Chain A
Amino acid sequence: MNCTEYKTDEDFVIALRSGGRNRDRAADCLYRRYSEQTVSSVQRFVGYNSGQHDEVRDLAQDAFLIMIRKICEGGYNDGSLIHFWIGIAKGRLRNKVKRDAKTNLVDDPLLFDGADDESPETRMISKQQLEILDGKLDEIGMRCKQVLMMWARDYSMKEIAVELEFSSEAMARKTKYKCKQKLVAVMKDIHFEF
């Protein structure tokens, strides 16, 4: 993947906010560029312990998901993206430590208070609930999932039509509408918050 088109953090932010394929590509490149640095920084924060490396990486990935959502929804204005990411990761770690007071953390100015802004992927809802949710989502079919997921990532109908090989934009739009109806119908059977 060629990531050289993103010279500055602002280039990443513009691409992420533009949605569609641009967003997906920018997210991949942003992760590739800063993930090692972020994981190392969080690792130092907890005090080096190689046994925790995978756990820290997992936490950094969850923080990345939150960061992308915040950028796309306007919850980020300026400042360095890597500091933003590290701040969210450390904030999540701090919250985890509050629940499980085993790790001593060093003081750090990068702690970010928005780290609790969770989604089912980053928040632990029960495994059983996730299985129910996954099962219900399977009921709408893979094609519907693809269409709705791309629509939610701000792909245009034209992009969806081309990528998923619909005969026209109108056909993609019609499919999205039907899929959304299917999804709303299956959501009636989900009786827990997520």
Chain B
Amino acid sequence: MTEEQRIERIESYLSGEMSQEDKVSFESELTQDQDLREEVALHRKADRAIAYLNEKQLKQRLQTITAGQKASASGGRMRKLVIRLSIAASIVLLATWSVLITTDYFDQNASLADLSEEFFVPTQPEVFRGEDAQDKSSYTGQLIEADLMYQSGDFEGAIAEYKRLSLNSNTLNDRAEWNLAMSYLLSESHQGEFDALLDQITGDTTHMYHERALSLLEEL
């Protein structure tokens, strides 16, 4: 038995996945082998340590969700105040805007394109192994198709694909969600959805692109 198999056997015993027959045999070994007993005890301790890390991480996530819920609730109260202030501010802005619009001060499309280049995550077929990426019925293949739509400027097509993948794929959903956010950013009619999705990803510390979302938020 290799070292790896021996460890798998201990893990199988501790997780309760061992068959009754193997369990009886293993426990009989345990009564006779002091080293094995110590090793099992260490693995049990290691498992508890991992469970501790997971619960600590989950609790942090719950606190983030709670903070988001509190922010949404206070957002409702703030909204009325913001509307009043917005009316006053818009009068001032209108005057300023008329000056700025005649200059090249805003080149929004160019800056969005820069952001897109910096933050978009193209799927690299080699990460997922070639054969899977070639198969358009696989999630990886579909993700690459969506990337191609995005890169060719078909944002509505890309949005539909990424949205579907983010709901259906259990393993690529974070990647699909991230590129969905990038598609929203570049399309002209999804600003609200972009804000909501970016808000969600920045609020979810377990999201694969959490850090990237925070960086994007900073740039914006």
Q: Which A residues are CB-close (under 8 A) to B206? A: 24
Q: Please, which residues of chain B bring their CB within 8 A of the CB of A24?
A: 206
Whether the pair B63, A61 counts as a contact (CB closer than 8 A) is: yes
* Chain A residue with the shortest CB-CB distance to B45: A187
Q: Is the CB of B173 within 8 A of A121?
A: no
Across the two chains, which residue of chain A brings its CB closest to B16?
A: A73
Could you tell me the distance between the alpha carbons of A5 and B170 in the complex, rounded to whole angstroms?
Answer: 13
Distance in angstroms between the alpha carbons of A181 and B10 in the assembled complex: 12
The number of A-B residue pairs with CB atoms under 8 Å apart is: 103
Residue B62 at the chain A interface, CB threshold 8 Å:
yes
**CA separation between A67 and B56, bound complex, in Å?**
15
| Chain A proximity mask over B31-75: 1 for CB below 8 Å, otherwise 0 | 000000001001101111111111111110111011001000000
Chain B residues with CB under 8 A of A122: 55
In contact, A194 and B48 (Cβ under 8 angstroms): yes
Beta-carbon nearest neighbor of A2 in chain B? B167
| Contact, CB under 8 Å: B208 / A119 | no
Residues of chain A within 8 A (CB-CB) of B51 are 69, 119, 152
Min Cβ gap B209→A in Å is 11
Does B171 make an interface contact (CB < 8 A)?
A: yes
Given contacts A27-B58, A28-B65, A187-B42, contact A165 B49 (CB under 8 A): no
A20 to B46, CA, bound (A): 20
Given contacts A35-B69, A165-B127, A168-B129, contact A22 B200 (CB under 8 A): no
CB of A111 within 8 Å of the partner chain: no
Asked if A1 meets B204 with Cβ closer than 8 Å, knowing A28-B65, A152-B47, the reply is yes
Whether A149 is near chain B, meaning CB under 8 Å from some CB there, is yes
Structural contact, A184 and B43, CB atoms closer than 8 A: yes
Q: Mark A1-41, 1 if CB is under 8 A from B, else 0.
A: 11001000000000000001110100110011001100000
- A117 on the B face (CB < 8 A): no
> When the two chains form the complex, which single residue of B54, B58, B171 contacts A163, counting CB atoms closer than 8 Å?
B171
B57 to chain A, nearest CB (A): 7
Instruction: Indicate if A68 sits at the interface (CB-CB under 8 A).
Output: yes
Report the bound CA distance from A163 to B173 in whole Å. 10
In the complex, A188 Cα to B49 Cα: how many Å? 12
Given contacts A27-B58, A61-B62, contact A183 B170 (CB under 8 A): no
Which of the listed residues B45, B54, B61, B127 has the most CB atoms from chain A within 10 Å of its own CB? B54
Q: Are B53 and A149 in contact (CB under 8 A)?
A: yes
B172, CB-defined interface residue at 8 Å: yes
A-B contact pairs, 6 of them (CB 8 A): A31-B65, A57-B66, A153-B54, A167-B127, A180-B46, A190-B45
**Given A121-B52, A162-B127; 4 other pairs, CB 8 A cutoff:** A27-B58, A28-B65, A32-B69, A167-B127
> Footprint of A on B, CB under 8 Å?
4, 7, 11, 39, 42-43, 45-59, 61-63, 65-66, 69, 127-129, 167, 170-174, 200, 204, 206, 208
